[in-house]
A and B are shown apart, each in its own frame.
Chain A
Amino acid sequence: MPRRQLVFLIGIVVLTVAASVMTVVWRNEPLLGLDLQGGVSVRLAAVGPADEEMLDQAVEIIRDRVDGLGVAEPEISRTENGVMVSLPGVDDQERALSLVGTTAELRFRPVCRLYTERGAYGPASGSVPAGPASCQMVSTGEVVPAVGPAGVTLPEDDDPGDFVVLDLRNDPGQRYLLGPSLLTGEAVSDADALFIDYQWQVGLELHEGAVGIDGFNAIAALCFSGNPACPRSGGATNGRLAIVLDGQVVTAPSIRAPEFRRDAILISGGFEKIEADDVSLALRYGALPVELEPENIRLVSATIGEDSLRAGVVSGLIGLLLVAVFIVGYYRILGIVALASLAISGALLWSIIAHLGTQSGLALTLAGVTGMVVAIGVSVDSNVVYFEHLKEDVRDGRTARSSVDRAFPIAYSTILKADMASLIGAGLLWYLTVGAVRGFALYLGLATILDLVATYFFMGPMIRLLSTTRWFAEHPERFGLPSSGAVSASTGSLRGVGA
């Protein structure tokens, strides 16, 4: 038994140290939220008339755009004639604009290839192909599409003239290698979800002229015949044309005719009604129900003043110190173990937050900080549950040493039951909500999992190891346990204490 405990102990300590070192080496830092750090505020004004409903819709779409993961906690609100978007931690105004994506353009790109597995291309810089773009240029290696670490082209590299690798919206498992953009959303005059032939389809209507039906038909001819610029893939009879918005493929229909009428283009794809609505909305508005253009971009300071922030941090640290004093005063050496366990889960939590903050835009707001403060309380509680169980067993007449083995599984089962309820709650809130609540759910879930980890792999084994020492057996009172648990006092063990 002790060997396994020792492995757990060493394992968790090594993991924690490694995670902390990585955090420092990679320069991961938590991304502080708008309230704590400020950021960039973009004010967008509607071009042309817009009613409140349209602006509200625009707010929702922008929220999706800037906060795909739902944890960056931007502030997006409707103003009298537009929308105001504030992003945390961004100090580059160009980047803020590209994130808010008012310039998001609907693009029609030929599908060169369909992937199911990721990482077909390593990170490389993109280069604009010379001459007529053909998908063969990629297969021969003449052009290498720029992709980020996740295997798809990053928004800043998503230029109309480049080859790109993009995911299907709503289904990141579907990935396409796409050729340069051949036509933009300007060609679209209208789109609607239609129920035709017993299925939901999207009816598309284009403008007249080169940026319109003529341009579209030129592409359609290429795709229909499977020209190298729009090849047949996967044994299909026709090439496919992808409709791309915001760096995602909205849909990628096969082109089944060499020529179309301006007002009679149908996209079918086994859509649900809501999907057909989505696609037609994207086609119609290029995403936003109103056209917005940036009015001004400004740096904003934190909503919580720096003085309040400092006071918050100071009071938090003092609070933590007092908790430490209380725990050690009450549980003695067990208290020190509890604090070490807290340090382990705290260091791991910090590493994860810093990593997600740097990689995925997870913002740490006041709410998150408070969530963590309370999580510390719950974390301490896991230790308290175990220690009180130990005391209980010692009072019931066991030796301190035998109590340790007996109490841990019982206490851990209690902790697990209680933590599972928290985890279920966190999971549901994460899945079902948006905005600040979602961020909170993430923090709660993380803290709870780490609590379980630290309890099982650190606190339990540590105390079991300590319990094998003579010191523990002879002086349980130094561990905050009743002295009746000492080995010498264990004869005639069914003594009652008090009562």
Chain B
Amino acid sequence: MSILGGLYRGESAVDFPSLWRRAIVISTVAVLIGLASFGVRGLNLGLDFEGGTSFEVRSPGTSVAEARQVMEGLDAGDARIQIVDGELLLIRSDVQDPMRAAGIRDVLAAELGQVEAFEQVGPTWGDEVTDKALRALLVFFVVVALYIAIRLEWKMAVGAMVAVAHDIVLSVGVYSVLQFEITPATVIAFLTIMGYSLYDTIVVYDKVREIVGRLGATDRYTYTELMNLSLNRVAMRSINTSITSAIPVVSMLLIGSLIMGASTLQEFAVALLVGIFVGSYSSLFLASTIVAGLKEREERWRLVAGKVRSRGVVDGPTRVIGRQEAAVSSTRAAPRSSPTGGPAKRRPPIAAPGTGGVPPRPRKKKR
């Protein structure tokens, strides 16, 4: 609670860099599990992708819910059930095995009514649709990476792409491990997750850029420390956004399952929920680690790190940049701050050039 309180007040309450190693291990393991499950168990592709069997049952007065109960008894509860012309049940199930389909037909005939038609159906979501979607996804990755490289920087593009790929693998992994059925709606959920994760990551990166632009030129903090400050400042937003995005989904999950147990809605909600939290997690822990790792390798930030270390700061928890320091630096960097040191009336330029824009001024040792 005190951590949340600290984050609420915008203090550097969490030492993110100390968690990075653990996050990488956890993410790697999770990704490996996801990939392994994908490789071994594959995905449970639904009717729309693989086709299945359709049954037409003459059974006036039977409701969709009653028919679903019967299908659930046959372990095919995810069938798509429609009422045709008011008296015919059209049941489409992803069962492909003809023997099993015949068994279902017999049960349906016994429990619901005369089975008038019974045949194999092809996929509505054909290979061509999938091919196009995959190609679009590849183009999407390339173009968005370029966009981030141009608007922010290429190292951030790398981080963002890794984070998004991570989120997708984990979400698809959940479907593979739990063998939820993949429907077109699920594919949409994956895309939503991707967009969401990307959005979150860009917000985090923009904060990092702002803070580095403001404090980076002082050469007093390593990139990792600046990253930590940014993450602490942006964490509350990430949490709030995850909460506001998750509330409707949780509501869908609880009420959807409590009231009528629509399995498709439930699975859909689970996927979205996983995606929302994994998306926030990956931008706070994964996307930031990658960028910090890449940036610390840069000549300039290596020098800064060397200077900081020579000042006697040893390894340990990441140094916390206090609010006062951060704020003072921000007014110092602003040429138009009022002479009394009061609040700047005009907005100071925040986007100081990344390297060597404002020369670091000598600063009295405080303390």
Contact call B191/A410, Cβ cutoff below 8 A? no
The verdict on B240 contacting chain A, using a C-beta distance below 8 Å, is yes
Of the candidates A330, A421, A431, the one whose C-beta lies within 8 Å of that of B202 is A421
Could you give, for residues 169-204 of chain B, a 1 whenever the CB lies within 8 Å of some chain A CB and a 0 otherwise? 000000000000000110111011011101100110
The verdict on B311 contacting chain A, using a C-beta distance below 8 Å, is no
Contact call B83/A301, Cβ cutoff below 8 A? yes
The verdict on B82 contacting chain A, using a C-beta distance below 8 Å, is yes
The verdict on A396 contacting chain B, using a C-beta distance below 8 Å, is yes
Contact call A377/B245, Cβ cutoff below 8 A? yes
Contact call B323/A497, Cβ cutoff below 8 A? yes
The verdict on A458 contacting chain B, using a C-beta distance below 8 Å, is no
Which stretch in A122-130, A255-263, A275-283, A312-320 binds the other chain?
A312-320
List residues of A (394-442) whose CB comes within 8 Å of B's CBs. 395-399, 402, 405-406, 409-410, 413-414, 417-422, 424-426, 428-429, 431-437, 440
The verdict on A374 contacting chain B, using a C-beta distance below 8 Å, is yes
Could you give, for residues 296-339 of chain A, a 1 whenever the CB lies within 8 Å of some chain B CB and a 0 otherwise? 00111111110110011011101110110011001000000000
Which stretch in A4-12, A143-151, A378-386 binds the other chain?
A378-386
Closest B residue to A302 by beta carbon equals B82
Could you give, for residues 7-49 of chain B, a 1 whenever the CB lies within 8 Å of some chain A CB and a 0 otherwise? 0011110000000000000000000000000000000000000
Contact call A417/B152, Cβ cutoff below 8 A? yes
Assembled-state Cα–Cα distance A406/B346 (Å): 8
The verdict on A190 contacting chain B, using a C-beta distance below 8 Å, is no
Assembled-state Cα–Cα distance A410/B210 (Å): 9
Assembled-state Cα–Cα distance A342/B254 (Å): 24
The verdict on B143 contacting chain A, using a C-beta distance below 8 Å, is yes
- B335 to chain A minimum Cβ distance, whole angstroms, is 15
Residues from chain B with Cβ under 8 Å of A80 in the complex? 119-120
- A389 to chain B minimum Cβ distance, whole angstroms, is 9
Closest B residue to A439 by beta carbon equals B188
- A197 to chain B minimum Cβ distance, whole angstroms, is 34
Residues from chain B with Cβ under 8 Å of A299 in the complex? 84-86
- B26 to chain A minimum Cβ distance, whole angstroms, is 25
The verdict on A392 contacting chain B, using a C-beta distance below 8 Å, is yes
Closest B residue to A386 by beta carbon equals B237
Residues from chain B with Cβ under 8 Å of A380 in the complex? 241, 244-245
Which stretch in B132-140, B219-227, B289-297, B298-306 binds the other chain?
B132-140
The verdict on B65 contacting chain A, using a C-beta distance below 8 Å, is yes
Among B68, B124, B143, find the residue whose CB has the most chain A CB atoms closer than 10 A: B124
Given A300-B82, A326-B244, A371-B192, A428 and B143 touching (CB < 8 A)? yes
Contact call B191/A429, Cβ cutoff below 8 A? yes
Contact call A397/B343, Cβ cutoff below 8 A? yes
Contact call A421/B251, Cβ cutoff below 8 A? no
Among B65, B195, B259, find the residue whose CB has the most chain A CB atoms closer than 10 A: B195
Which stretch in A17-25, A71-79, A198-206, A228-236 binds the other chain?
A71-79
Assembled-state Cα–Cα distance A479/B85 (Å): 56
A-B contact count (CB 8 A): 289
The verdict on B126 contacting chain A, using a C-beta distance below 8 Å, is yes
**Chain A interface: which size bin?**
35 or more
List residues of B (95-123) whose CB comes within 8 Å of A's CBs. 119-123
The verdict on A266 contacting chain B, using a C-beta distance below 8 Å, is no
Contact call B187/A496, Cβ cutoff below 8 A? no
The verdict on A38 contacting chain B, using a C-beta distance below 8 Å, is yes
Given A299-B84, A378-B199, A440-B188, A307 and B251 touching (CB < 8 A)? no
Residues from chain B with Cβ under 8 Å of A41 in the complex? 84, 90
Residues from chain B with Cβ under 8 Å of A244 in the complex? none
Could you give, for residues 138-167 of chain B, a 1 whenever the CB lies within 8 Å of some chain A CB and a 0 otherwise? 011001100110011000000000000000
Contact call A424/B122, Cβ cutoff below 8 A? no
Contact call B256/A396, Cβ cutoff below 8 A? no
Residues from chain B with Cβ under 8 Å of A496 in the complex? 322-324, 327
The verdict on A464 contacting chain B, using a C-beta distance below 8 Å, is no
List residues of B (198-252) whose CB comes within 8 Å of A's CBs. 198-199, 202-203, 206-207, 210, 233-234, 236-237, 240-241, 243-252
The verdict on A114 contacting chain B, using a C-beta distance below 8 Å, is no
Residues from chain B with Cβ under 8 Å of A498 in the complex? 6, 9, 11, 323
Closest B residue to A440 by beta carbon equals B188
Contact call A319/B147, Cβ cutoff below 8 A? no
Residues from chain A with Cβ under 8 Å of B135 in the complex? 432
The verdict on A84 contacting chain B, using a C-beta distance below 8 Å, is yes
Q: How many residues of B contact A (CB 8 A)?
A: 102
The verdict on B320 contacting chain A, using a C-beta distance below 8 Å, is yes
The verdict on B339 contacting chain A, using a C-beta distance below 8 Å, is no
Contact call B188/A377, Cβ cutoff below 8 A? no
The verdict on B361 contacting chain A, using a C-beta distance below 8 Å, is no
List residues of A (349-375) whose CB comes within 8 Å of B's CBs. 365-367, 370-371, 373-374
- A1 to chain B minimum Cβ distance, whole angstroms, is 13
The verdict on B59 contacting chain A, using a C-beta distance below 8 Å, is no
Contact call B198/A422, Cβ cutoff below 8 A? yes
Residues from chain B with Cβ under 8 Å of A397 in the complex? 327, 343
Contact call A75/B124, Cβ cutoff below 8 A? yes
The verdict on B342 contacting chain A, using a C-beta distance below 8 Å, is yes
The verdict on A268 contacting chain B, using a C-beta distance below 8 Å, is no
Closest A residue to B251 by beta carbon equals A319
Assembled-state Cα–Cα distance A245/B227 (Å): 61
- B201 to chain A minimum Cβ distance, whole angstroms, is 9
Of the candidates B143, B246, B326, the one whose C-beta lies within 8 Å of that of A424 is B143
Residues from chain B with Cβ under 8 Å of A323 in the complex? 244, 247-248
Closest B residue to A402 by beta carbon equals B343
Residues from chain B with Cβ under 8 Å of A250 in the complex? none
Chain B residues in contact with chain A, CB under 8 A? 6, 9-12, 51, 54, 63-65, 68, 80-86, 88, 90, 119-126, 128-129, 132-133, 135-136, 139-140, 143-144, 147-148, 151-152, 184-185, 187-189, 191-192, 194-196, 198-199, 202-203, 206-207, 210, 233-234, 236-237, 240-241, 243-252, 254-256, 259-260, 262, 264-265, 268, 272, 276, 320, 322-324, 326-328, 330-331, 341-345, 347, 350
A-B contact pairs, 12 of them (CB 8 A): A60-B126, A79-B122, A300-B83, A300-B84, A304-B264, A318-B251, A326-B247, A388-B233, A424-B140, A425-B194, A440-B191, A490-B342
Beyond known contacts A377-B244, A406-B347, A424-B140: 15 more, CB 8 A cutoff? A307-B260, A318-B251, A366-B185, A373-B249, A380-B241, A396-B330, A398-B344, A402-B344, A419-B199, A429-B136, A440-B192, A444-B192, A496-B324, A496-B327, A499-B324
- 10 interchain residue pairs of minimum CB distance: A377-B245, A319-B248, A78-B122, A319-B251, A432-B136, A315-B255, A496-B324, A367-B188, A308-B262, A406-B347
